[in-house]
Amino acid sequence: MRLRRKLLSALAALVVATCVVPAASADVVRLRSGEAIKGRVLKDRTSEDVLVVEDYLAGASRELSWDAVDPADRARIRTDLGFGDVGEVTIPCDLVSFRLDNGSVVVIKCVILKEEGGALIVRTLADKGMRLASNRVVARAKGECEPQELYTATEIAEKYKEELQPSDARSWFNFAQLCEAAGSFQAAKEGYENAASDEAYPKRKQAQDGATRMESILRDQEAVNEIIQLKQAVGAAQWKRVREAIDGFAAKHPTIGDAAKKKLEDLKTLFAKRRTAHFTAKVADRLEKILREDLIKKRVAPKDAAYNDVQAWIRREAVTEAFEKLVTELQKSDPAITAEEVKTFWEGREKRSWRNAKYASGTRFIYPPKVTPKTGTKQVQPQRNQGGGPAPVLKLPEPPSRDDWWKDLPIDERVAFWWAVFVEKSGLFEVDPKQVKAACAKCEGEGVKTYMLSNGMQATTLCERCAGARYDISVRYR
């Protein structure tokens, strides 16, 4: 199963801590990020929602989300505090993006076993040797899965027993907690009963309660099995299926015990959390693509698209149209999605690294030069051409008007220009007040171009690209 090293080290620490560390002494709380906090759990300030730890190194107390704590340490601490659940356990897995016959891409949670004969051999819960054609594999990544997404309850229990080799009350209790978290309830019952059989074990009452809890769950095995399947459906982003199942669960299983009811409440919490995370990540990726690759491109693609018309649309309608299209798209994954939710997801998105939106040659129409470079003519030594005659008369280029510039601008540059306008003016993005400036490619940041006339005069004119702006401005946003 290739459990994470930090999970195994946490389990080892758990055995030692249970054996030799008194409740009031220094503890080590490990976080999912890999950080280890040495300090003391403040029991009077810790609740179901937050863990409060006195950090000896920082000299201050820290409030932590339970989700931020390593699963093994979370299970240990919550059990010590009497909160009654064992949290969740995850294992490393492979995430393979695979292209189907219809062209769509699905992400398969699996363990890659090997690659041979033009195929990727993977293990899934349903197939221990699934073959995936290598030419259809779009991407591979490492991720975290719940054990029951890849292994049966019996396989999970056997692996934990092999790794922990429980032989005394402490190790049987730890084994039981991990099995319970992974859905191996029969094995968890065995572990709790073995721990409870030691009358001298300090956590004997908790072990007895655990065995009773497992008996209740096993009596409600059909309901609990459905909850486990629905947790897997949450992982597969099957939001409609899970919501309908939760809504009808009480009518389908009217007599379930408290332990199964607790599992159901945990499922509801997981559903809400994962759904929010899923769509928050989705809107962060899709809104920009909808605007740039669809709406703006559609507006500017016609050769006769008027600058003023596009500007008016950007100001008045672009935001509304983008969110309407985004809502319609997300409702294909979950018909219950609302416009208000989508806006909430957008506001709660993770703001990633800064990106640039470029005005390029259109900079001067948004940010006209504050100081125009000097232009004019001056007398210099006349130049002759190779035939000995006077230098030819040059027609000096001039910066085009806005409409002429717009008329000749390629579609991709039109899209990039209006995207920069939207980013800076829409209020949807965090915009860095410090702009990025790059020298004009035509005049190399001089703002002017110099030409020699046939009468011996040297003429300096505004750069026909930047019209004296000197720089192309880019807007940094996220």
Question: What pLDDT score does 477 carry?
Answer: 96
Structure tokens, 48:
């179901």
Which residues lie below 8 Å from residue 289, measured CB to CB, with a gap of 6+?
none
**CA separation for the pair 13, 319 (Å, rounded):** 53
Question: What pLDDT score does 34 carry?
Answer: 84
pTM for the predicted model, two decimal places = 0.64
Lookup result for tokens 């280029």:
397
User: Are 356 and 436 within 8 A, CB to CB?
Assistant: yes
Question: What pLDDT score does 214 carry?
Answer: 93
The per-residue pLDDT string of the chain (478 residues; one tens digit each, 9 = 90 and over) reads 444 444 444 444 433 333 333 333 568 899 988 899 999 999 888 887 789 999 998 889 999 988 888 877 887 787 677 665 545 667 889 999 999 988 888 899 999 999 999 999 999 988 999 999 999 999 999 988 888 888 888 998 998 999 889 999 999 999 999 899 888 999 999 999 999 999 999 999 999 999 999 999 999 999 998 998 898 899 889 999 999 999 999 999 999 999 899 999 999 999 999 999 999 999 988 999 999 999 999 999 999 999 999 999 999 999 999 999 999 999 999 999 999 999 999 999 988 889 999 999 999 999 999 888 888 777 655 555 555 555 554 567 889 999 999 999 999 999 999 999 999 999 999 999 999 999 999 999 999 998 887 777 888 999 999 999 999 999 999 9
Question: What pLDDT score does 375 carry?
Answer: 85
Report the relative pairing of strands 130-133 and 355-358 from DSSP bridges.
unpaired
User: Are 375 and 432 within 8 A, CB to CB?
Assistant: no
Look up residue 388 and give its DSSP letter. Answer: S
User: Measuring CA to CA, how many Å separate 64 from each of 41, 79, 266?
Assistant: 11, 17, 19
First-to-last alpha carbon distance for the chain, in angstroms, is 38
Question: What pLDDT score does 215 carry?
Answer: 93
Question: What pLDDT score does 238 carry?
Answer: 94
User: Are 145 and 125 within 8 A, CB to CB?
Assistant: no
**CA separation for the pair 248, 269 (Å, rounded):** 16
Question: What pLDDT score does 453 carry?
Answer: 79
Which residues lie below 8 Å from residue 428, measured CB to CB, with a gap of 6+?
287, 319, 346
CATH 2.30.30.520 fits 91-145, yes or no: yes
Topology (CATH) of 5-81? SH3 type barrels. (2.30.30)
Question: What pLDDT score does 8 carry?
Answer: 43
Element (H, E) at 75: helix 71-81
User: Are 425 and 359 within 8 A, CB to CB?
Assistant: no
User: Are 421 and 343 within 8 A, CB to CB?
Assistant: no
**CA separation for the pair 391, 394 (Å, rounded):** 9
**CA separation for the pair 424, 474 (Å, rounded):** 10
Please provide residue 233's backbone torsions phi and psi, each rounded to the nearest 5 degrees.
Answer: -65, -35
- Per DSSP, the three-state class of 348 is coil
Look up residue 3 and give its DSSP letter. Answer: -
- CATH 2.30.30.520 maps onto the chain at 91-145
364 CB burial (10 A radius; 0-12, 13-18, 19+):
buried
**CA separation for the pair 70, 72 (Å, rounded):** 6
* Tally of CB atoms within 10 A around 326: 23
Which residues lie below 8 Å from residue 7, measured CB to CB, with a gap of 6+?
70, 71, 72, 89, 91
135 CB burial (10 A radius; 0-12, 13-18, 19+):
exposed
